[in-house]
Amino acid sequence: MRQYEEQIEKLLSQMTLDEKIGQLTQMGANVLYGDIFEANTDYIKRGEIGSFIVGCTPTQLNELQRIAVEESRLGIPLLFAKDVIHGYRTIFPIPIAESCTWDMNLAEKSAYAAAKEASASGLHWTFSPMVDIARDSRWGRIAEGAGEDTYLQCRIAEAKVKGYQGDDIADRDRLIACAKHFVAYGAAIGGRDYNSVDMSLETLYEIYLPPFQAAIDAGAESVMTAFHDFNGVPCTGNEYLLKTVLRENMGFDGVVISDSCSVRELVVHRMARDEAEAAKYSITAGTDVEMHTTTYRENLKKLCENGEIDVRIVDDAVRRVLSLKFRKGLFDNPYVDETREKKEVFTAENLDLALKIAQDSIVLLKNENQSLPLAKNIKKILVAGALAYSKEDMLGCWAACGKAEECISIYEGIKNRFAECEIYKAEDIDDAVIKAAACDAVIAVVGETRDMSGEAKSRASQKLSKEQSLLLSALSHTGKTLITIVVAGRPLVLTEEEKLCSSMIMAWHLGTQAGNALANILAGDVSPSGKLTTTFPSADGQTHMYYNHNNTGKPARDDFFATSKYIDAPIKPLYPFGYGLSYTTFSYNNLKINNKDLRVGEKLYGSVEITNTGDFDGAEVVQLYISQLYARKVRPVRELKWFNKVFIRKGETIKVEFELDTSTFGYYNSSAGYVNDGEMFKITLSPSSEGGLEDIINLIK
Ligand code: NOJ
């Protein structure tokens, strides 16, 4: 018998249909939904709400819980959920930034730290990690995930689920994780949020599903449906995706929750005629819990009574919700200790972690003449650009309970770190130019405010504002060494601007410790080690460019007309996936593959030597790509299959060993499922998705 089965069946047998449907109803509880008690108390008493998505204090949560436990007939506790995406009150870098650390230990630690803070405030469930692959950076939600690569996103999905859930979700400082948004949400046509996705099943299986599988295999207890229609059927009512793919093929047996209002949106999609039909399509497709709207509450009972829905479908969904509540320990411990929040939220330990992750998320894009780190003898620094002074924008999208006033702005960070220097602000471009003349270092901060990325923040152009480009241009004419810091939630088109400066840093939205992290990098206390997890296009129209594109029949070439390229933009992106500089340099030598002839399923073993050839200690992300040389289906030019971040002292050489499972070298073929051709593969060890040391292996079927 499975855990708690007896208790679940007993409870289920006592529940009325209304109470069962209550468990499948998640209400919102914040200003938008009116006073939480006024709006919901009667429903809670009648057992007609199963969970809340909240913005409440621990005292309020305990009171809501008390009503459920003490005043409802069966005393079933409530689950409290929130979007804790990159920290709760201590805000870590946005996910796309954190992915640039390529450090799974840190990814797990920040999830655990967020879980500790959120659970101390009374929460049980986070709607994270977002494991959507984003190959199109017009899509604003690229900020919320790990970028364009499936393999990397899989590793991060595992780390995040482990960090949130630990070994036992009943532990008081763990949260239930939710892998979202099922599925292929990042492939919205035109990069426009909520738009349709039209995709081959091979691409779905190869590129978009594996991160969900990784999250499920790591134990993710819940999955959220996506808003869009997948090949014409909205995900929330998509039986093929939720039943055949998620439950049957992927083996998921946890709770499926709709995205906010997406059950009711089946009407807007014009899939359903009315809310009753929307409820019917959603529950029968496999959406267990409805978030925010009440079409289940208002229609499921009647649909069951008149035989349109088999009540066993409702029962199964309720079993999954009850199981989650039992396993979270809510029947034994429904309340949060209200003294915890004060002690366990925004701790010194979490702030240190936020600083470390922010430093490691930073990607050095350009460093001409080693203009960074700043010289030790500088006396006057100009810090220009409105984003330099902003605390709020450092939070990034989805900042849970993060407070702007608790963030260190870039200006403040520089002031703290360079306490012996004079640090100047600039009112506007003219002021910046005047002040630059008197300074030894000029730092300009440009990019996106926090409300320019995230949900519903698609952009048709990824360029800087006119004002920001003018600022950089004006400062570049002062003859001073110009350091540009780019703050953003997505890759930007920086082709013209990068020519204007000596150094360029990609700083994303780095969270609470943004300013301190950047100042430590500028000072050279830490050498940058972040590498891009998404391609930086060199022109707007190039967007939707990703490193692991297929081999075409006419590969791009500048010297021949009929090749796959644009006539008005370069062939290459400005910065490729995997790219990032350091203050030191690394050289790759002696790639050795131990077993070049091997059978599919056997492990491939090898090593490469990396030498730190520069003047700083530093960390390098060693990347391994495979390229199948011949296949019955066109394969990507390269695919990331392994990476390792290693710290190397200056002058030192280390041997990095790798071990690869060749059963993952295959691909999906619409008729045969997963196939693994016996074939030749190129193995490349490189510091980015371009260049590197190569060797050939022969994989025998
Ligand atoms: C909509 C978003 O798509 C989803 O990611 C989020 O978890 C829910 N709203 C709840 O806020």
Between 1 and 616, residue with greater pLDDT: 616
User: Ligand 1 in contact with 127 (CB < 6 A)?
Assistant: yes
CA dist., res. 100 & res. 156, Å (int):
11
Residue nearest to atom 4 of ligand 1 (CA): 259
Indicate if the pLDDT at residue 263 is higher than 70.
Answer: yes
Q: What is the CATH T-level fold of the domain 586-700, as seen in this structure?
A: Immunoglobulin-like (2.60.40)
Pairing of strands 79-82, 51-54: parallel
Percent of the chain surpassing pLDDT 90: 96
Percent of the chain surpassing pLDDT 70: 99
User: Ligand 1 in contact with 281 (CB < 6 A)?
Assistant: no
Stretch(es) of the chain classified as CATH 3.40.50.1700? 358-542
Give the angle subtended at the CA of 536 by the CAs of 532 and 537, to the nearest 5°. Answer: 165
What pLDDT was estimated at residue 32? Answer: 59
What pLDDT was estimated at residue 475? Answer: 98
CA dist., res. 471 & res. 176, Å (int):
46
| Mean pLDDT confidence for 52-65 | 93
Ligand 1 test: best mutation among 53, 127, 178, 225, most atoms within 8 Å of CB?
Answer: 127
What sections of 440-596 are H helices per DSSP? Answer: 466-476, 495-500, 514-523
Angle at which helices 210-217 and 150-165 cross, to 10°: 30
pLDDT in tens, 434-457: 999 999 999 999 999 999 999 999
CA dist., res. 684 & res. 689, Å (int):
9
| Residue 509 contacts residue 490 (beta carbons within 8 Å) | no
Q: What is the mean pLDDT of the chain?
A: 97
Task: Tell me the catalytic residues.
Answer: 259
Stretch(es) of the chain classified as CATH 2.60.40.10? 586-700
What pLDDT was estimated at residue 31? Answer: 53
Farthest CA pair distance, the chain: 82
Using a 10 angstrom Cβ sphere, with 0-12 exposed, 13-18 middle and 19 or more buried, the burial of residue 613 is middle
Q: What is the value of pTM for the model shown?
A: 0.98
Confidence of residue 641 (pLDDT cuts 50, 70, 90): very high
What pLDDT was estimated at residue 54? Answer: 86
Confidence of residue 53 (pLDDT cuts 50, 70, 90): very high
Nearest alpha-carbon partner for 382 in 437, 419, 430: 437
Distance 261 CA to ligand 1 centre (A): 10
CA dist., res. 661 & res. 670, Å (int):
23
Tokens 């407070």 label which residue?
Answer: 403
User: Ligand 1 in contact with 259 (CB < 6 A)?
Assistant: yes
Which DSSP letter does residue 678 get? -
Q: 626 vs 157, 602, 604, 644, 683, CA distance in Å?
A: 22, 16, 12, 15, 5
What pLDDT was estimated at residue 252? Answer: 98
Which DSSP letter does residue 76 get? P
Residue nearest to atom 7 of ligand 1 (CA): 127
Between 423 and 1, residue with greater pLDDT: 423
| Residue 372 contacts residue 364 (beta carbons within 8 Å) | yes
| Mean pLDDT confidence for 494-511 | 98
Residue type, 614: G
Asked if CATH classification 3.40.50.1700 holds for the domain at 358-542, the reply, yes or no, is yes
| Mean pLDDT confidence for 489-496 | 98
Q: What are phi and psi of 84, to 5 degrees?
A: -100, 95
Task: Write out the H or E segment, with its range, that includes residue 300.
Answer: helix 295-305
pLDDT in tens, 141-184: 999 999 999 999 999 999 999 999 999 999 999 999 999 999 99
User: Ligand 1 in contact with 83 (CB < 6 A)?
Assistant: yes
What pLDDT was estimated at residue 56? Answer: 86
What pLDDT was estimated at residue 460? Answer: 98
Ligand 1 atom with minimal separation from the 226 CA: 3
| Mean pLDDT confidence for 347-370 | 98
